[in-house]
Amino acid sequence: MHARSIIAILIACVISTAVYADDNWPQFRGHAGLGLGSGNPPTEWDLQTGKNVAWKTPIPGLGHSAPIVWGDRIFLTTAVNTDTDNPSVETGWSGGAGESAKDTGEWTWQVVCLQLDTGKIRWTKDAHVGQPKFKRHLKASHANCSPATDGHHVVAFFGSEGLYCFDFDGRMIWKRDFGKLSSGPYDAPELEWGFASSPIIHDGLVIVQCDCLNTNFVAILDIKTGDEIRRIDREGEVATWSTPLVVTTEDRKQIVCNGYRQMAGYDLKSGARIWHLKGGGDVPVPTPLFSNGLIYLTNGHGRSPIYAIQPTATGDVTPSDDGTKKPGLAWWQSRDGSYMPTPLVKGQRLYTCNDNGRLDVRDAITGDLIYRQRIGTASHTYSASAVAAGGHVYFVSEQGEVTVIEEGNVYREVASNDFAEVVMATPSISGDRLLIRTVRNLYCLSR
């Protein structure tokens, strides 16, 4: 073959790989959990006429995990009940006032693979079958954790029902049992709410955060074998529903975990705690973010602070009682944080939408408030986290209303779309495609 032809093929392969890499959405909220897409998905669609609706695929069972994308494949998880095809889900402010669902029958925990361009299900694999070891919150499911992939492995976490690794053809490679993982409020241990921290993959490692009522740790495993390489003790922490984050800077790699008593950064190699702070909300849910050279943390229920931490921080960076800022803490706000949704950082703006639909947009470097606005219908509540692409930010309410706003220093609503279905899962983006999972269906929206 002519040398020029070989070079042309190599260039085409590099370009193709780059395009796929841009369009991949490998974990909860995509690359590094930032929620930022590379394409230009539609801002408007019509389910009745089919405008900008590429396809719709019913998903059996109940799952709040977000879909992930690699190449031409979508992966998600679900839990199917033997007694009902449509397990109930509560929405709204109280969500059943913290009560557990009274499900009967057995459940099957499944990993599902779909074709990206058609929505056709390529395969479904059972990971576990049996009675749940713990009940779920009335607003939750038994498949809350989003899967993660590195392009070769698909890792799915079902809490007390185990951690599983499949290949792209659906063959189970390994599984791990961490025992019972009891998740509920620390001051009301009789309530069972279900597990929700998603796994992440970094440089051949699977990392899971297991902050529960009966055990507290971060586990680091070899993605090829499932062997546990290291376990980081988080003794004394309360139940946490947040996904961890790996932050890489010039002089260190650290795992950042949200928490109530231990918002902290740990050395990836040794597991040693580098920095920590406490005093946030006592039901930590949002995932940490790293952007603009800062680590962002927020949590809610009771208090809802926001912290911007320098990755070089060491020791205790908890603000003093008089509000004095300690070294390593770039800025902080004692309120206006988020209880359920993870914020979004785009450029120099930090978008924080609380579960009540109040959106605060701040300067991500200084913490100064740019504007505050109520989004969506006033009575709607939010569990899904915002995502952004094409100069727009997408907010999805539990009631299925999608509010699209324009990025900028002034609030400008571009569109509002209503699914008329309950949506608890965070949307995903693959190029120009927006994937939204309702409690019954997966939709692909594309121009």
Q: Which residue type sits at 74?
A: I
Say yes or no to pLDDT of 2 above 70. Answer: no
The whole-number pLDDT of residue 19 equals 36
Report the topology of domain 3-445: Methylamine Dehydrogenase; Chain H (2.130.10)
- Alpha-carbon distance of 172 to 174, in angstroms, equals 6
Spell out the domain ranges in the chain.
3-445
pLDDT tens, residue by residue, 402-436: 999 999 999 999 999 999 999 999 999 999 999 99
Q: How is residue 281 written in tokens?
A: 């909300």
Mean pLDDT for 374-389 is 96
List all residues 6 or more positions away from 207 whose beta carbon is below 8 Å from its beta carbon: 199, 200, 201, 218, 219, 220, 221, 244, 246, 255
pTM of the predicted model as reported, rounded to 2 decimal places: 0.94
pLDDT tens, residue by residue, 124-144: 999 999 999 999 999 999 999
Q: Which helix (H) or strand (E) holds 220?
A: strand 216-222
State the CB neighbour count (10 A cutoff) for residue 440. 15
The whole-number pLDDT of residue 96 equals 63
Burial of 73 (0-12, 13-18, 19+ CB in 10 A): middle
SS3 content of the chain, % helix, strand, coil (to 5): 5, 40, 55
- Alpha-carbon distance of 165 to 396, in angstroms, equals 30
Nearest to 141 by CA among 69, 221, 50, 79: 79
Say yes or no to pLDDT of 294 above 80. Answer: yes
More confident residue, 392 or 303: 392
pLDDT tens, residue by residue, 195-252: 999 999 999 999 999 999 999 999 999 999 999 999 999 999 999 999 999 999 999 9
Per-residue pLDDT band at 323 (split at 50, 70, 90): confident
Say yes or no to pLDDT of 444 above 90. Answer: yes
List all residues 6 or more positions away from 204 whose beta carbon is below 8 Å from its beta carbon: 150, 222, 223, 224
Say yes or no to pLDDT of 359 above 60. Answer: yes
Say yes or no to pLDDT of 13 above 70. Answer: no
Percent of the chain's residues with pLDDT above 70 = 94
What's the number of CA atoms in the CB half-sphere (13 Å) around residue 336? 19
The whole-number pLDDT of residue 20 equals 38
